[in-house]
């Protein structure tokens, strides 16, 4: 069986779901960020797969590189936020950061 687009998409979907699961369930803020990275990488796999098989060609690669750059920027900002959270709450448990509760 030849490895095709479908396989990549399945891998990507699994990775996306794992990432989403991590975002939703982890209590530690860093873990939530890692889930986020997984989601981003799942989309990257999608881009590359479509570039290879779906006729997206070079645009897919460029989009993937954009996502990687964005992920780096996002990680920098997110980690800064996490640091701030830690300074304010002396912990990084997202369950307890609920000041916006209605």
77 binds other proteins (CB under 8 A): no
Residue 57: left (phi > 0), alpha (psi -120 to 50), or beta?
left
75 binds other proteins (CB under 8 A): no
Q: 75 in helix, strand or coil? A: helix
User: What distance in Å separates the CA atoms of residue 58 and residue 67, rounded to the nearest whole number?
Assistant: 14
24 vs 58 by CB, closer to other proteins: 24
User: What distance in Å separates the CA atoms of residue 11 and residue 17, rounded to the nearest whole number?
Assistant: 10
- 30-69 residues in contact with other proteins (CB under 8 A) are 32
* Dihedral in degrees, nearest 10, Cα atoms 48, 77, 99, 89: 120
102 binds other proteins (CB under 8 A): yes
23 binds other proteins (CB under 8 A): yes
87 vs 99 by CB, closer to other proteins: 99
98 binds other proteins (CB under 8 A): yes
- In the complex, the residues that contact other proteins under the rule CB under 8 A are 20, 23-25, 32, 94-95, 97-102
């Amino acid at each position: 069986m030849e490895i095709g687009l479908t396989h990549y998409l399945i891998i990507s979907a699994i990775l996306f779901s794992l990432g989403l699961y991590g975002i939703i369930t982890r209590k530690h803020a860093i873990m939530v960020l890692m889930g986020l990275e997984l989601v981003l990488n799942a989309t990257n796999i999608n881009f590359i797969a479509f570039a290879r098989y779906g006729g997206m060609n070079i645009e897919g690669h460029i989009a993937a590189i954009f996502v990687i750059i964005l992920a780096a920027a996002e990680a920098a900002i997110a980690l800064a936020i996490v640091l701030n959270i830690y300074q304010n709450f002396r912990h990084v448990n997202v369950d307890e950061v609920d000041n916006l509760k209605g």
